[in-house]
Structure 1
Amino acid sequence: MIPFLDLKEQYASIKDEIDAAVLHVLASAQYVLGEEVAQFEREFAAYCSTEHAVAVNSGTSALHLALLALGIGPGDEVITVPFTFVATVSAICYTGAQPVFVDVEPVTLTMDAAQLEAAITSRTKAIIPVHLYGQMADMDAIKAVADFHGVPVIEDACQAHGAEYKGRPAGSIGVSGCFSFYPGKNLGACGEGGIFVTSNDSHARTVRMLRDWGQERRYHHVLKGFNYRMDGIQGAILRVKLRHLNKWTQSRRAHAARYSALLAGSNDVRAPLEAADRRHVYHIYAIQSRDREYLQRALAIQGIQFGLHYPIPVHLQKAHADLGYTPGDFPRSESAARSVLSLPIYPEMTTRQIEEVASAVEQEAHVH
Structure 2
Amino acid sequence: MSQRDWVAQAIRKIEADFNRSADTHLIPLALPGFPDIDVYLKDESSHPTGSLKHRLARSLFLYALANGWLHAGSTVVEASSGSTAVSEAYFARLLGLPFVAVMPASTSPEKIAAIEFHGGRCHLVPSACGIAAESARLARETGGHFMDQFTYAERATDWRANNNIAESIFKQMEKEAHPVPAWIVCSAGTGGTSATIGRYARYRGFETDVLCADPEHSAFFDHYVRSLAGTPVQDDVAPAPPSRIEGIGRPRAEPSFIPGCVEAMVKVPDALSLAAMRYVNARLGRRVGGSTGTNIVGVLQVAEAMRAAGQVGSIVTILCDGGERYAHSYYNPDWLQAQGFDMAAADAAVRATADTGAALPPLTLARRSAGE
So what's the TM-score if we normalise by structure 1?
0.34
Structure ranking higher on relative contact order (CA contacts 8 Å, 6+ apart):
1
TM-score norm. by structure 2 comes to 0.34
